Chains A and B, each alone.
Chain A
C-alpha cells in the first residue's frame, strides 16, 4: 500500500511547487530598502532648476515618491491615476524624473497635467540607482520619519490607489513623527 502512496505523495508535492511557481511574478523584486531610511540625495527641481530638494526637507511629512519619465509608455497610462490621486487630501506626490530630457519632461507636465508637488531631475539615473530603481514607473511611500514603508513596481492603478496607497497614507499620517 505504502509503495503505491509514495509516487502519489511525490506528485502532489511537485504539483504544489509548480502551482506556486505559476503564481510568482519574476519581475517583481522585493526591495531591501523597505523599512529602511530613504537614501539621501540633493537634486535640482525640474521646474526650478536653481533650487534643490533633499528628503530631509520632507521630514515630518508622508510623501509618495514616483519615478517617471516622458519616454516611459506605462507612465502615460499611470498619469491620469496620479492626477486623480494628487487631488485627494493628505497626498503629497514627489516626482523623480528619471533619465529624461528636462525639456521633454516639462513639456509632458504641461500637456498632461502636473500631479507632483515637486519633481526632481535625475538625468544620469544616480538617484534612481541609490533607490534601487530598475524600471519605470515605480512608487515609494515614505513616512514622517523618512523611512520607506512601501514600494510599488509598475504603473499604479485605481485599485492600487484605493486598496493600498490611500489606506497606507492614512495609517502613516496617524503615526507620530
Chain B
C-alpha cells in the first residue's frame, strides 16, 4: 500500500506540468519543454519557469509558446529573453570572461586536489623507500659484523 502511494505521488509530479500547452508539432512541444526548464523564473529565482506558479513565469511561458508558434528557433527565444532579463534568466550561464570563474573554478580546484594527492603519494612512497633502504643498510652492517666476528674467532 505504501509503495503504491509512493508510486502515485511520483507519477503525478512527473506527468503534469503547471499549465500544459498543446502543440500540433511534436518538435515544438519538445523545444517548449526544454526551453521552459532552462529559463529561470526571476521572481522566485530558484525555480524554472516550467516549475513556477508565479504570474511572471506564466507570462514567460506564454511568450515562449507564442514565439514557437511563430516558428522562431530556441536560439532566437533564448536571445530574446537574455536581451530583456540578462544572463540571469538562463539556468546554464554562457561561457564569458565574467563567468569563467564559474566554469573553470571546479576544474582548477579538482586539479589542485589531484596534484596534492600525487604529491602526498610520492612523499609517502619516498619515505617507505628510505625506510626499506635504511633497514637494508642495518642488515648489511649486522652481517658484516657477524662475518668479522667469525673471522676473529677463526684466528
Tell me if A30 and B86 are in contact (CB < 8 A): yes
A129/B45 contact (C-beta < 8 A), A29-B86, A32-B83 known: no
Partner of A31, one of B45, B59, B86: B86
Complex CA distance for A84 and B59, rounded to whole angstroms: 33
Pick the contact of A130: B45, B82, B84 (CB < 8 A). Answer: B84
Q: Quick check: A99 and B42 within 8 Å, CB to CB? A: no
Contact in complex: B85, A132 (CB < 8 Å): yes
Residues of A within 8 A of B (CB): 26-27, 29-33, 39, 99, 124-126, 128-132, 134-135
List of B residues within 8 angstroms of A29 by Cβ: 42, 85-86, 88
Output the nearest chain B residue to A27 by Cβ-Cβ distance: B45
B contact patch SS: helix
Name 6 interchain pairs, CB-CB below 8 A, sorted by A. A27-B45, A29-B42, A32-B83, A124-B59, A129-B59, A131-B84
Q: How far is the CA of A1 from the CA of B43 in the complex (A)?
A: 50
User: Secondary structure at chain A's binding surface: helix, strand, loop or mixed?
Assistant: loop
- Please indicate the chain A residues that have their CB under 8 angstroms from the CB of B45 in the complex: 26-27
Name the distance in Å between A127's Cβ and chain B's nearest Cβ. 11
CB-based nearest B residue for A128: B59
Decide: A135 and B43 in contact? CB cutoff 8 A.
yes
Smallest Cβ-Cβ distance to A36: which chain B residue: B83
Q: How far is the CB of B95 from chain A (nearest CB, A)?
A: 17
Interfacial chain A residues near B86, Cβ < 8 Å: 29-32, 132
A173 to chain B, nearest CB (A): 28
Contact status A134-B42, CB under 8 Å: yes
- The 3 lowest CB-CB distance pairs between A and B, nearest first, are A134-B42, A132-B84, A32-B86
**Residue contact B84 to A99, C-beta cutoff 8 Å:** no
- Cβ of B60 < 8 Å from any Cβ of A? yes
State which residues 115-153 of B face A: CB under 8 Å. Answer: none
Of chain B, the residue at the smallest CB distance from A124 is: B59
| Residues in chain A near residue B82, CB distance under 8 A | 32
B63 at the interface (CB under 8 A from A): yes
- CB of B56 within 8 A of chain A? yes
Q: From residue 4 to 57 of chain B, which have CB atoms closer than 8 A to chain A?
A: 42-43, 45, 55-56
